Structure 1
């Protein structure tokens, strides 16, 4: 059975390493030998996966854009050279996100099958994005897109492409089922995201101020020092609690009654939305942007609402509507859980293995 070489640039607790970790576990469970290449000195969803063989390279965010770019270039040079050791072996190169282009180029040079798992579209500057997608076009044998939106907007002619929606692990679902049976609505709002303005962090803080009678929790995928620096000039209301990066988010979903995604669509398009899917598995209604792959998870007024995050007043009014109209809330909650059941880990793994083993 082919050895699978999985490459991811930055291991953390965000969506793309989470999805790759599920792929790796599924591949190992189905008898594949898996080598994982990711950055060292970083903890995330790719850390200590049982049965995986680990190889590390240097990469991290620098203090400036130039420094980060240098780290990135050297990491790709390292990957290209290091992966050449597989030239006489029967392997598949599995590149997670379009960033690790060095691994893809090595795969092409060795005439190996290169599978890209594409998660992103909002990459800046445009020249950098163009370069990365040209490498994809030159090297890829197969493309896996996380949503129909992404496949339609970033399609590459002549390469076999597949839409494989992300899924929830069986362990996650089982914990959610237990929590639902104990659920009591206490009007808590939750958002989990990266510490970026385009993720709607400032909008969320504003909503907390507008709705002082409700509790707001914000979980940011960053260190507390970085959060403090970002928020040093912000006015925070007493009903808002902020947490740094978390390995286990179940405790937050247990307490949440509504989950928001407030990404600013003129700067960042969500191509899927794992936190939204996780919320729905808990029977939690969601409010999401009206465009992108994330919008494919939600039917408006059925399992959640689609509202542009610039319309803060409307979002505020709809939060109030959900929490004051019990029958409407319960209707959304029931349908959210039902919709989440469409995204099974079994089907996800079957699709991933099918792409990897295809000719």
Structure 2
């Protein structure tokens, strides 16, 4: 049986662990033995019922204090670096590194001569120096790199053994979405899913709710209620009557099924979306989207067809477009219908198949390398 050793830093309900869960589930169903090393809780723990999965867990969470965050991160890198040597004498294993962050086990894997596959979700080159260092390390350590969009791959200096595999949604997620353009238009409900990080523009979303009291706004934050309360207090925010803010959710399907329009307001000057999973989720629910003008997420939208591309700096323009979309039933129906059609291009089976192929090829290369080593 082939064995995949997978490392993922923070197991929550954000995009990268959701995609990883789909990939691992595909591998598990094909009979691979998967050893998963990640934090406690989150979507990856939904795989624990598989008999051919073994999980090694640790406690980890982010802090608002950057010094504390880097200390916790460094501690986990040392721990997973040392833990990786558990597989020193295992042959024909592949180290599957999800996101840039697990650099410790990637380094350990290289030292042991294991085959290293990175699943690269970020765009380090529009982030800070720390991520750029991690991206440089990835290009040195990885035998294979999986990117989520052509936009993301274009920033890599390395071009060899780089495969673009767009993200997709799990079938059990898609099957529970109920696209109803006529009813959605009548609801006049605007949804955004994101974090409290300022480059995700939660403050601008709150401002839109204040500007447009005739519409209902919902903000789903990938954080605890305690941190949301602290954020509100720090920024002296008074929540208006047409805005509801929710903490981290295990299941976001009900939010899409009750929305009319979905926004992604990531500030392209500080952060660029490499793919845009929430936009795909929205379009799969038959909902138009408004997204930034750059990044992998911008590749998913054609202005006036399935949504609009507008930067958060143009809040007045976003305001006017929202008014137009939610007041013109013909326009709304066109956008919603095209959004649903576009989402069908992103097939979960194809995504899992491509990722499995990369890992299987890596496993084969590892076997061949071991055979050559044994014949010398």
TM superposition score category, shorter chain reference: over 0.9
| Deviation of 1:67 (Å) | 1.8
Task: Supply the RMSD in Å over aligned alpha carbons.
Answer: 1.6
2:70 corresponds in structure 1 to 69
Structure 1 position 240 matched with structure 2 position 243: yes
What TM-score do the two structures reach when normalised by structure 2? 0.91
Residue number in structure 1 paired with 2:373: none
Question: Which sits farther off after the overlay, 181-190 or 114-123?
Answer: 181-190
Match of 2:12 in 1: 12
CA–CA separation in structure 1 for the residues paired with 2:61 and 2:212: 38
- Alpha-carbon shift at residue 235 of structure 1 (Å): 2.8
Q: Partner of 1:119 in structure 2?
A: 121
SS at match of 1:324: coil
1:124, 1:181 → 2: CA distance?
A: 36
CA shift digits 1:303-322 (9 cap, x unpaired):
01000111011000000000
Which residue is equivalent to 2:324?
321
Partner of 1:84: 85
| Count of aligned positions | 355
Change beyond 3 A, Cα 1:34–1:183: farther
Question: Structure 2: 5+ residue runs without aligned partners?
Answer: 366-376
Q: Give the unaligned 5+ runs of structure 1.
A: none
Contact 1:57–1:78 under 8 Å retained in 2: no
Structure 2 residue aligned with 1:251: 254
2:21 aligns with 21
The equivalent residue for 1:191 is: 192
Task: Tell me if the contact between 1:140 and 1:159 (Cα under 8 Å) persists in the aligned partners.
Answer: no
Determine the C-alpha separation between the residues in 1 that align with 2:132 and 2:196: 25
Specify the alignment match of 1:47 in structure 2: 45
Change (3 A) 1:279 1:158: closer
- Larger RCO, structures 1/2 (Cα 8 Å, 6+ apart): 2
Contact 1:189/1:256, CA 8 A, preserved across alignment: yes
**TM-score, reference length from structure 1:** 0.95
**Aligned residues of 1:183 and 1:254 also touching (Cα < 8 A):** no
Q: Report if the CA contact (8 A) 2:303-2:309 is conserved.
A: yes
Deviations 1:191-227 (A, max 9, x none): 0001111101011001001111000000001111100
2:216 matches 1:218:
no
TM alignment of 1:1-359, pairs within 5 A: 1-40=1-40, 43-49=41-47, 50-51=49-50, 52-62=53-63, 64-89=65-90, 90-122=92-124, 126-153=128-155, 155-157=156-158, 159-176=160-177, 178=178, 180=180, 183-185=183-185, 186-232=187-233, 233-358=236-361, 359=365
Q: Deviations over 1:90-133 (max 9, x none)?
A: 21100010010011111111111111011112579743223212
Please tell me whether the aligned partners of residues 271 and 293 of structure 1 are also in contact (alpha carbons under 8 angstroms): yes
